[in-house]
Amino acid sequence: MHEEQAGCPPDAGRRTVIRRAGDAGLAAVAVATAGAPLPASAGARMKAEATPDFGPNVLVIDPSMPGGTVQAAINAIFAQQEAAHFTDRRFAILFRPGRYTVDVRVGFFTQVLGLGMVPGAVTIDGHVRVDAGWLKGNALANFWRGAENLTLRPLEGWNRWAVSQAAPYRRIHLLGDLVLDDGGSSSGGFLADCRIEGTIRAGSQQQWYSRSSRIGGWQGVNWNMMFQGVQGAPATTFPDSAVTTLLRVPLLREKPFLQIDEAGRWSVFVPALRRDSVGHSWAQGSTAGSALPIAHFFLARPEMDAATLNAALARGQHLLFTPGVYRLDAPIRVTAANRVLLGIGLATLQAMNGTAVLEIDDVPGVTVAGLMIDAGPVRSPVLVQVGPPGCDGDHRHNPVLLADLFFRVGGVEVGKVETCLEINSHHVLADHLWIWRADHGDVDGSRVHVGWDESMGNQGLVVNGDDVTVHALFVEHFQRYQTWWRGNRGRTYFYQNELPYDPPTQAAWMAGSTRGWAAYKVDDTVREHEAVALGVYVYFRTNPQVVLESAIEAPRRTGVRFRHVTSMSLGGGVGTIAHLVNDQGAAAQPGATMQRLLAYP
């Protein structure tokens, strides 16, 4: 963004608590709670099913634990992760159903999850919050974290979630206001399936996508704010200001989540498909869907290789990736329908030998959610492939879901890839993607691998399948087409893109005879396509004289439609985008840095 294991077995009779030896804050919780009796209801739950062994980087909190030691354990994680902009450490903090008084500050590569069947099952009298104190209020680099499935009662009446990309806020009931910045710049973000009783204050947020929620109000508009299926959303004001509001979500399925039912059984809940929906999925008290027992999941650990994970899939198991970095020598292959691959704690899969990380056959109902995908030092043709090239299965009644998938190419390590995500299957749903070729490394400058000829990626997303729908698509800094759509009847609801910062010359960045590679390319063969609320930004810091001819290139036919397009030359005009769509729209350039286009054609 523009700015920038050694485990132990579960506690068989009582509870699973902390498993990081050598961390005094975490070890204290284990010692302090080892002899404390559980309340009768909690004890009954534990007898029903012991806590799974999620490994050393998962903190499972029970309401019977002393508040001081719980707070110490949470603080110990945050102390490690607050400024850990690039690290292999990953953590998940899981709250069992109950009520807590605690202040949870959420740092890098940390996910906070409630384990209830509904958000109200876990109530926190306090905060689950993100600030930007480590960068003096600048939240432009507050990536890679998340919170889900909680009710928050902040004593001051408001909670802060000052983030940029890859920091989802899902399934949260907040009794108060939500503040999305920390005084400095911020570049988020994503909120879905939430109920916010107060007002959401956008502050400095450059862009934000909110879906399938109920809010008390919204304050603040900057570059591109989109609301879809959100009760209480402001009315559309584009192009006078950058608000786009759609009343309904035509088709979606919420991300699966871990839960403990009233009998103490662990499962992964898979929400049902929703059509023409408005508001949060749990408005009537529960979410429609089905629960998969945790026994049906193979609990993956970072030291496992692809063969081990593929063997679990071949046995008919789903995969739950516990926190850590999985350096894979071969692809994970999904060959059966309805498999669930769910990551917790920002579990990260990295391609090490120039292969894909994940290959999915042309099968229906697969879910891949909550994972980071990293390119490795050997160039991969593709990192995640959904369906083989040329596949033609009809999955409209049971689509594949990709949710909260975050790709990285370069940064503090060299990364090389042709295409990060290739979708060949039809009827795929995607919900919150950030596909990023790094524009920066560590903020201290000690580890930076972002050069034009060093960390390389051609395309972020290529869609060959028909009837693919993407909600909240963030793609940045790739060297050719950022997004290349070649299938029919595709739909994109909200798009955020920054062009590569580093084209060395115009001659080095030409698509044939065209100046530059479009940020959003719809192939000439496409008959129907729709995209709404798109923002494309330029910051050619290596060579400000480089020009992109068109932010969006698409066939000139009535079935291919764009609404609410914004272009901007950042830094007061460091680079030029000559047109918004094909030859339409004025140039974003020095002296006229922001341009808007209501509709095309």
DSSP 307: H
Place of tokens 């879901």: 401
Cα 86 from Cα 242, distance rounded (Å): 33
Residue with tokens 């071949």: 314
Our answer to whether residue 498 is catalytic in this structure is: yes
CA dist 79 and 186 (Å) reads 22
Nearest CA to 39 out of 60, 18, 15 is that of 15
Q: What is the C-alpha to C-alpha distance for residues 429 and 251, in angstroms, rounded to an integer?
A: 8
Contact 482, 498 (CB under 8 A): no
Q: What are phi and psi of 393, to 5 degrees?
A: -65, 150
Query: With the CA atoms of 378, 381, 385 and 388 taken in that order, what torsion angle do they form, in degrees rounded to the nearest 10?
Result: -140
Residue 113 near residue 257 (C-beta atoms within 8 A): yes
The answer to whether 145 and 370 have CB atoms below 8 angstroms apart is no
Q: How many CB atoms lie within 10 A of CB 335?
A: 14
With beta carbons less than 8 A apart as the criterion, state whether 198 and 204 touch: no
- How many Å apart are CA 436 and CA 438, to the nearest integer? 6
CB of 425 closer than 8 Å to CB of 400: yes
**Two tokens, residue 4:** 């920038």
According to DSSP, the β-strands at 110-114 and 145-152 are parallel
Tokens of 152: 């928050």
Of 119, 121, 133, nearest in space to 174 by CA: 119
The answer to whether the beta carbons of residues 450 and 502 sit under 8 Å apart is yes
Query: Across the strands, what pairs with 530?
Result: 491, 561
Q: Please tell me which residue in 498, 528, 549, 553 is annotated as part of the active site.
A: 498
Q: Which residues are catalytic?
A: 498
